[in-house]
Structure 1
Amino acid sequence: MHFPSKRACCQTYAGEGEISQFPMIVLYKPKGIYRKTSSFIVRDFTCTSCRPLLVVTCFFTTLGSCIPVGYFLGIMNGPAMFIKVWCYDAIKSIYGLSLSALQLDVLWALIVAIFLVGGICGSLLAAWCCNKFGRKSTLLLSKLLLMASGCLLFLCRYSGLVSLLLLGRFIGGVAAALITTAHPMYLLELSPADRRGSVGVYTALGVAIGICVSQVIGLQQLFGNAELWHYALSFYMIFVSVSLPSYRWFAESPEWLLKHKPQDCLVARKALKDLHGSQSISVIYEEKPQLAASEPMDSKELSLLAVLRNRKFLLPLALVLTLQACQQLCGINVVMSCKELPTKVFYYSVGIFTEVGFSNDNANWMNLACGLLNCAVGALTPFLINRFPRKLLFQLGLSPIPYFIASELFEDSARPVAMSLGSFASWSCNFMVAMFFPLLENVWGSFAFLPCCAVCIYSLILSWRYLPETRPSNNENI
């Protein structure tokens, strides 16, 4: 492949009777990693420093997107008893019905589970939103949904309507699915090649921090009580509000711009320069028409059916779906998530500690300690992910890698669909764990974790045998 001289230049390219008016931008560097994007190639080089804008983008997108997702997963534990009492009183005052203990437990199960149902529905829309509106715009849409959800959760107590609580949880689930699909893809496409692994783990890290924050806010000494539980449910709106103004300075994904808005090539160039620096970071230049013609599928986004029918995507898609499913089925949410009921309808955490002899107060503090440990280990992943092979790290823990492995296994045209399907598998298996683990626990007791052990062994064998090492390679080599 031929490159011009060291000096950056802009020119037009003529090929097969057509003149392209898009500038050819070359920042000289002899070696690098190529990624195809529509009729362009983005060439990444080793980045020796981390640009402030990239750091700020990672921080604020995680603060306003992923932390609220984790917060949703964990907040229902602390004020659970008080919310159930409110639900009983609200239904009695509006409909004149007195719910039995079983009916109240079923209603509570619906309140908690509808967030996961929203996640399943949102994951089906995520690929279309990412392709249609862009990665950044999808994240902005998710923030608007989070704000709407927070308003409903806050107002439900004053209105006395349980339906507002249900609707707020459902909308929050839709927003969470959009985030878990768009956020890792957005950060990976903004980052230089040697930083993609580090930024890819911010999704899982943000979720872990959100769970930990919800455990603190849900304490009865703070907001997890009869008077303030509606503040606890909507507290995450602070994170969203703080992060929203910063989005005006963030760039849309350069890869999405080059694919869907090639007239904004200069905008993409400026975004890459701001994110990566002006020296030896990226090369954007127009491909020859014959190269684009040799792989016509790369010139447009692939639909769900196109991805499912293409045999070359079969193994990577199976890996993505399996890793996302194993992440949920391995039992981590049973141990770490803080949704718990006296009747054990949903995830365990506090309930596990009380069963082994801890008082309720001590069980809450033990649960918080687990959340802090989860955050501490998660904080190490940005430093470890590029220093050790992905396969080795995945054998040690399932959390961060499934969130971004689809971005490394799939080319640009199939990436949104793959990320969306992975998110669908994750939320569906999350719902299965929430619904069926209590049944296993009632029958098998502590042996209910045996299927989780089997899932861990299966994921170990699968990833060791079939998962390619993606550090630090490009999609086509994989």
Structure 2
Amino acid sequence: MNSSQGPVRSKKEFPNKSLLLATCAACIGGSFQYGYNVSVINAPTTYVHDFINQTWRERYQADISEDGLTLLWSVVVSIFTIGGFLGASIGGTLSVKLGRKGTLLANNIFALMAAVLMGLSYPAGFFELLIIGRLFSGINAGISLCVQPLYLGEIAPTKLRGAMGMGTSVFITGGLLTGQVIGLKELLGKEEHWPILLSTTCIPAFLQLLVLPWFPESPRYLLIDRGDDKGCKKALKQLHGASCDAEWEDIEKERNNSVGFQAMKPWELLADRSLRWQLLTIVLLNTAQQLNGINAIYFYADYLFKQSGIPIDKIPYVTVGTGACECITALTCGMLIEYLGRKALIMGGYTLMSICCVLFTLTLTFQNASPVFPYLSMVCVFAFILSFGLGPGGVTNILTTELFTQATRPAAYMIAGSVNWLSFFLISLVFPFIVIGLQQYCFLVFLVICCLMVTYIFLVIPETKNKTFLEIQNEFRSSNNRKACRADGAGTTLLSTSI
């Protein structure tokens, strides 16, 4: 074979057992924690309200005001996003200093501290411990969502990078579903159990501390960042089996291409004009992931379930159905991504979400016209969740990994993670006012966002399936050069005309 065609890649289409277990070990204490902590706080809402009121009464001999209670509960919930932002802002730096695997292991300190503080909040009579515990949970999630996709993208062979990267999305939805199930009254959803329920966040942390040490550090980190040839070859052999020559050649080529370059800081990446399109892409994708309407769908879900005649005490079980729906879609996306490609899935997901926004607006507008419309609205809820899980929910993180090389990837994840968490915080803050102001027409705002993302993805983002990181970077560079040449040509023509 001609050497210009690059290394021959393995035709093996399934990960070996070691790679699959390493992915699970990274995800159980990573993105699973994020999903779990997002959903597990919903079940004990009433009980935490009572605990805050009781504590306030014991301290000040008076009940807390309704506004004060709402404010404190909002702090308990939203402090998680502040912690996530803090975690994302340090995750990339830690991944360079401690390694990807080392950072994931050290990150469990925050999860264990959170579990202890939230578990002790009720017996100690301090709701402040609950707030600090949620902050630590957020820091844990922020670091995890920054470093775990890095690790998964770097340990996977090129042909399986998309499928392995989907582990992040699969375990997020698995965490959401597990939190919903554990919060049912038949398990830990009773009033006397809520401190135990919130402290169960220690279980995934312990599992990761037990399992992840048995698997190697990222081979790319070992060779490119640490110059450890022997360690890299050993890691590749454990993760990919005997046929790891193609991956070794890819990593070595990237190392040779990055000689003299050190891992970039976020501000250096922001100033690098050669990477502006990759950077703009991940900023837009991560912003849209939070602002595309998925939060609005979950907000309306309870209302629609009530409108459809489902008894209030049965709604938590139907909500578990939405979690299961998203989990199944993430698994489906994981199986399809290496066949259909990233671009087709994420464009298809946003296109279907756009259609659902239109249908959902219509069904909500005519909600009282016929008993059928609440059920049609429920169908739209599940269709929207399926569409989100099929594309934006899973592919966004994978693209953040693939659009950058070793020197720029940690900084890219810090920027992407910070944007994602800030968008999460913004939509949590502003969304209730959007719903009050626009009511069912709020989905027209999300329709515009989804349509704009379809257009941008179609025009700007290349397909990255089965391409090495260097090949993807060169494709973006060629595209940038073509745009620059067109701009220069236009400028020259204008200058000639004016003369």
Return the TM-score normalized by structure 2. Answer: 0.81
Corresponding residue of 2:341: 389
Which of 353, 359, 363 aligns to 2:311? It is: 359
Q: Deviations over 1:251-296 (max 9, x none)?
A: 111111123322x32111111011111125446479999x95x765
Q: Distance in 2 between matches of 1:185 and 1:380?
A: 22
Which of 231, 253, 276 is equivalent to 1:314? 276
Partner of 1:17: none
Superposed CA offset, 1:88-119 (max 9, x none)? 11122134452111211111111100001111
Aligned with residue 302 of structure 1, among 264, 271, 278:
264
Q: Does 1:413 align with 2:407?
A: yes
Match of 1:278 in 2: 242
Give 1:39's aligned residue: none
The amino acid of 1:460's aligned partner reads V
Q: Secondary structure at the match of 2:285?
A: helix
Residue 353 of structure 1: CA displacement?
2.9
Of 430, 450, 472, the match for 2:444: 450
Q: Given residue 21 of structure 2, which amino acid in structure 1 is its aligned partner? A: V
- Which structure: greater helix fraction? 2
Q: In structure 1, what is the equivalent of residue 394 of structure 2?
A: 400
Residue number in structure 2 paired with 1:335: 297
* Alpha-carbon distance change, 331 to 100 in structure 1, aligned in 2, over 3 angstroms: same
Distance 2:300 2:110 in 1: 28
- Candidates 190, 208, 211, aligned match of 1:225: 190
Deviations 1:134-162 (A, max 9, x none): 11111112222111111111111111111
Q: How far, CA to CA, are the matches of 1:288 and 1:191 in structure 2? A: 15
Residue from 321, 324, 328 that aligns with 1:376: 328
Residues 149 and 165 of structure 2 are in contact (CA less than 8 Å); yes or no, is this contact kept in structure 1? yes
Greater share of residues in strand: 1
Give distance in 1, aligned partners of 2:52 and 2:103: 34
SS in 2 for 1:189: helix
TM-score, L = length of structure 1: 0.84
Mean CA deviation greater in 394-403 or 314-323: 394-403
> Alpha-carbon deviation of 1:172?
0.6
How far apart are residue 350 of structure 1 and its match?
Answer: 2.9
In structure 1, C-alpha distance between the alignment counterparts of 2:157 and 2:276, rounded to whole Å: 28
Letter in 2 for 1:386: E
Alignment partner of 1:140 is 2:105: yes
C-alpha separation in 1, matches of 2:247 and 2:287: 37
Q: Is the 8 Å Cα contact of residues 47 and 276 (structure 1) preserved in structure 2?
A: no
**Does structure 1 residue 115 correspond to structure 2 residue 80?**
yes
Report matched runs for 1:180-219 at 5 Å.
180-219=145-184
Aligned counterpart for 1:471 among listed residues 457, 460, 465: 465
Residue equivalent to 1:175? 140
Counterpart in the other structure of 1:268: 232
Q: CA deviation at 1:355?
A: 5.5
Cα contact 1:31–1:45 (8 A) shared by 2 = no
Q: Distance in 1 between matches of 2:251 and 2:102?
A: 27
User: 1:331-368: per-residue Cα shift (whole Å, max 9, x none)?
Assistant: 213334xxxxxxxxxx5543553356533223222211
For residues 351 and 429 of structure 1, the distance between their equivalents in structure 2, rounded to whole angstroms, comes to 24
Secondary structure at the aligned position of 1:67 is classed as: helix
Kindly indicate whether the alpha-carbon contact (under 8 Å) linking 2:7 and 2:250 is maintained by their aligned counterparts in 1: no
Distance 1:110 1:449 in 2: 27
Considering only aligned residues, what root-mean-square deviation do their CA atoms show, in Å? 2.5
| 1:92 corresponding residue in structure 2 | 57
Cα deviation code 1:113-140 (max 9, x no counterpart)? 0001111111111111111111111111
Distance 1:287 1:386 in 2: 21
- Aligned residues of 1:130 and 1:138 also touching (Cα < 8 A): yes
Q: Confirm whether residue 237 of structure 1 aligns to residue 237 of structure 2.
A: no
2:4 equivalent to 1:32: no
Letter in 2 for 1:315: W
Is the Cα–Cα contact under 8 Å of residues 218 and 232 in structure 1 kept in the other structure?
yes
Change in Cα spacing, 1:307 to 1:90, as seen in structure 2 (3 Å) is: same
How far apart in 2 are the matches of 1:350 and 1:287? Answer: 49
* 1:2 Cα deviation after fit: 11
Aligned to 1:428: 422
Which amino acid in 2 is paired with 1:268? Answer: C
Q: Is the 8 A contact 2:150 2:401 kept in 1?
A: yes
- Helix, strand or coil at the partner of 2:119: helix
After TM superposition, the structure 1 stretch with the greater mean CA deviation from structure 2, 162-171 or 140-149, is 140-149
- Name the structure, 1 or 2, with higher relative contact order (CA <8 Å, separation 6+): 1
**Counterpart Cα distance in 1 of 2:301 and 2:428:** 12
Q: Is the 1:437–1:448 contact (alpha carbons within 8 Å) kept by the matching residues of 2?
A: no
Which residue is equivalent to 1:15?
none
User: Distance between the aligned counterparts of 1:286 and 1:236, measured in 2?
Assistant: 38
CA change 1:280–1:179 in 2 (3 A) is closer
CA distance in 1, matches of 2:186, 2:296: 25
Following the alignment from structure 1 to structure 2, what is the Cα–Cα distance between the partners of residues 216 and 97? 36
Contact kept in structure 2, 1:69 and 1:176, CA below 8 Å: yes
Structure 1 segments of 4+ aligned residues over 6 angstroms from their partners: 285-289
Quick check: 2:174–2:327 contact (8 Å CA) kept in 1?
Answer: yes
For residue 384 of structure 1, report the CA deviation from its aligned partner.
0.6
CA contact (8 A) 1:272 1:282 kept: no
Letter in 1 for 2:7: G
